[in-house]
Amino acid sequence: MAKLLYAGEHPDSPNYDNRLHPAIEEKFMEQGQSWEVQPWVNKIIFILEGEIEYSTGESGYYVAHKGQFLFLAANRSLSVHAGQGAHLGIIRLYDKIQLCDSFHLENLTTTGQAKANPIKGSKKHFGDNTGTGLLLTANPIMERYLEILTICHRQGLKSRYYNECKIRELMFILRAFYSKEDLYRFFYPALTTDTWFSQFIMSNYNKYDDLAGLAAAMNYTVSGFEKKFRKVFYEAPYTWMRRQRAQEAYHYIKTSDKSFKEIAEIFGFSTPPAFIRFIRENFGMTPGEIRKKSRKGGNE
């Protein structure tokens, strides 16, 4: 195998991707290990070896095997459990998703309802898979892409420029060798009529204390922002953000061992009773009832 030349010079380069969450990363999970994936940026997760059980919190657990990969939208959390050892490849999509220069993600919305049957992970518990969309299987072209990517990554080739090029290559492979119907279902959680607007919202909405701050960050007046938001998301900003907040809190309740007081503080509630009322209003159950049901074996 060819060795990376001048390996010692790469980490010193200002272009070296030494972020806490780099654009391209490998993750090895031992048998029984769990991993909580928090929302912030769109991700594609490849199962390179082994298998995982995964859940977005609202659904039950599904199984994804070696050779499959899933898309996780920026506004969704994910719980991953390795029933056996697993090797994962993680690609974080910090920039706008664009399949190629002449085919944007928005173009998939014209595909309409996909005719192909969904290839979901195998169910471990009952539930739906709407949080993560469709699992795709790596074809021979994708397998070769992942093989080269993994080799270069392990050799230490981790510059931001290289990572950006490999992510663009990934998008071209998806565009050229996967059907529009499959891509429609795969990226469905992030599909809107304006993906730049929606992806910024999904990645940043929880960083601002109020609507005015978020609108200003996008160079909108509050009224202009509300109008644009309704056009893209088909509902009021407050309604959408309240639901995202509820879904994230629900995920924490089901998948973490944090106390309800701790979770209430994470989501900005002044008192646990206020948090309990919020959860009951959105899910018809108290946090205690949700956690108890979850630990009995998931959704029924």
CATH of the domain at 134: 2.60.120.10
Residue 297 has pLDDT above 60, yes or no: no
Q: Are residues 185 and 212 in the same domain?
A: no
For residue 1, is it within any domain?
A: no
Q: Are residues 87 and 36 in the same domain?
A: yes
Domain that holds residue 216: 208-295
Cα 31 to the center of its chain, rounded Å = 23
Pick from 237, 176, 177: nearest CA to 212: 237
pLDDT digits (tens, 9 = 90+) for 179-214: 999 999 899 888 877 777 887 888 788 778 789 999
Q: Are residues 214 and 172 in the same domain?
A: no
How many domains in the chain?
A: 2
For residue 203, is it within any domain?
A: no
pLDDT digits (tens, 9 = 90+) for 120-177: 555 543 333 444 557 999 999 999 999 999 999 999 999 999 999 999 999 999 999 9
Q: Are residues 86 and 171 in the same domain?
A: yes
Pick from 188, 171, 186, 202: nearest CA to 97: 171
Residue 115: CB partners within 8 Å, gap ≥ 6?
A: 181
Phi-psi region of 264 (alpha: psi -120 to 50; beta: other; left: phi over 0): alpha
Q: Are residues 67 and 183 in the same domain?
A: yes
Alpha helices in the chain (DSSP H): 140-155, 160-177, 180-186, 195-204, 211-217, 222-233, 237-255, 260-266, 272-283, 287-295
Dist. CA 174–CA 46, nearest whole Å: 14
Task: Look up residue 139 and give its two tokens.
Answer: 């074809």
For residue 268, is it within any domain?
A: yes
For residue 111, is it within any domain?
A: yes
For residue 3, is it within any domain?
A: no
Q: Which residue has the tokens 């919305």?
A: 109
pTM of this prediction? 0.76
Q: Are residues 157 and 59 in the same domain?
A: yes
Q: Are residues 159 and 224 in the same domain?
A: no
Q: Are residues 158 and 21 in the same domain?
A: yes
pLDDT digits (tens, 9 = 90+) for 25-68: 999 999 999 898 877 789 999 999 999 999 876 667 889 999 99
Sign of CA dihedral 21, 101, 134, 74: positive
Q: Are residues 45 and 157 in the same domain?
A: yes
CATH of the domain at 213: 1.10.10.60
Q: Are residues 233 and 111 in the same domain?
A: no
